[in-house]
Structure 1
Amino acid sequence: MTDATDAADAADAADAADAADPTDPDRSNVPPMDPEAAADLVDRIVANVEEVIVGKRDAVEHVLVTLLARGHLLVEDVPGVGKTTLAKAVSRSVDASFKRVQFTPDLLPSDVTGVNVFNQRTNEFDFRPGPVFANVVLGDEINRAPPKTQSALLEAMEEQQVTTDGVTRALPDPFCVIATQNDVEPGRTYELPVAEIDRFTKKIRLGYPSVDEESTILERTVGDHPVESVDPVATVEDVRRARAAVSSVDVAEPVREYVARLSEHTRREAALGVSPRGSLALVRTAQVRAVLDGRDYVIPDDVQTEAPTVLAHRVRTESGAETGRDVVEAALDRVPVE
């Protein structure tokens, strides 16, 4: 990489860091969209991404639900099924800053968050922001890096800020981590810390395409890859306003109690159940689901739709025959809606 390229990347990251000023009134006083407008926004982005991603509408929708729920997404699957392409296509569909981090065993925490570099001209240390200073951050094959490096994302994912050398800097708004994870080479990867997994709002799998879908993929990718030609159909401001619409969706007390009882059930039935953070993630994604259906209030169906992808990865079982998803599905079957 040339010095000019390095300088350009550093300048882009610095611009993103400057744009993350927490005192910016746009971060907190954003007029919400109408629920119908927010639903139309999601449909527009989904349609745009489907120009690249074939037969994965549910997966694209999961990404957007996560984004509007102010969360982060973990995509686990075998290599080559389009995990990275999905993240790129969604980020390109929104006119927002995007950075990619290739996680490797020798990656350092400062390679993610940024580092202070001594400036000989000023005799001072200048902060060079890392790739985490972007609206959408793709952590590619995150489980190839050791836990110490993975932990560099903990503060960013939970508090939307980064602290280096005692100085705390806000991250851009919106901020979303989309991480991919390779699940077929356990001997060459590291297990994600529980604290990090709990910070991912959703965990999904893509799966292999059907024969017809794969044939269409091959047709589209002969020559230039279509993801390079994806044009944005939404702005950062659109995402902020859609998020504000989601935040205004009413969650009545019976629905909140239902979520709490689902989480409590997993704690009784597993070695490690759903945390309050997981319950909050379920409420927020249910709010998004309500908006997508054109409602300004959450119903139990919204909770049940979102629960498997929001709760299952947070559950640890003692029995090798039972999975976190089994526990969550049992909770949905046994916990009554009152």
Structure 2
Amino acid sequence: MTSTHVTSADAPVPAVGPAPVLLGCMGLGGSWDTGPYAPADIDAAEAAVEAALESGITAFDHADIYRHGKSEAVFGEVLARAPGLRERITLQSKCGIRLPEGDRPGLYDLRGPTIVRRVEESLTRLRTDVLDVLLLHRPDPLADPAEVAAALESLHRQGLVRRFGVSNMNAHQIARLQAHLELPLVVDQLEMSLLRRDWLEDGVLVNTPASASLGFPAGTVEHCLDHGISLQAWGPLAQGRYTGRPETPQEHATAALVAELAKAKGTTPETVLLWWLQRHPARISPVIGTTNPDRIRACRGAAVEQPDLTHEEWYELWITARGAALP
């Protein structure tokens, strides 16, 4: 099979409004063990979902491994409690990681039958007939891209998954898979934040000695921009480093600037951090990982308002966070 190229008739309509914010659901479902979840875990999931909806967030990011499947299962319980909710939201999940089991270490598995089975299990836990988006969680060095593509196309033909993407993959890996896949890959999810800036630094440290220290694969952001692939950022709030838990003098200085900008603009520090990602030409979609309803609500400005950062303010945040002038 050959790759499907976007024609002018199929080209995406220019986006209106801010890049969507997703609620990452890894924190739902109780503890990281194989035991059952408790009724209180369903209540906590329901409170997080309600806070997200109140904040204009209607997309939810899962993975089959989160809390050994309990994150998806409690979310399914929430959907069962709220008839009609499924039609109002976007459900995204991931597969491709197998957690340690007994003496076997954790590993990656993108064999075709495994992909199909794990999707079917996710649908059962989520109590839904279809995933809006499926991401391949991590690259599997043993994967046959033709076999992966065949599994994805089978899931699509059966009406089990509407769209596909990847997570933690570089431009070359995306292009190699796309060459075997008729359906377009529409998402790449990467760790991106004001703290984790290698995706950005890669583009400006070319031809400098510092470029050798970057591990981010060159050209990935540009590849996604050129091929209409949405970038999603996991860890966009930087684990609270700029909103209450700074650990270094540099982080304290950045947190102070974030707070100052938030006060001046009548919003929250969390919103400022997400605006910084959304302001990039790639219109990066943050995947917030908190399940605290108050902190979810603190992200509302990013979900419903255009990023309110000037060119100079965006750069000031970046330079303060990196702790050094640009080359």
The answer to whether the superposition gives a TM-score over 0.5 is: no
> With structure 2 as the length reference, what TM-score do the two structures score?
0.26
Greater per-residue helix proportion: 1
Question: 1 or 2 for the larger relative contact order (CA 8 Å, sep ≥6)?
Answer: 1
After TM superposition, the score normalised by the length of structure 1 is: 0.26
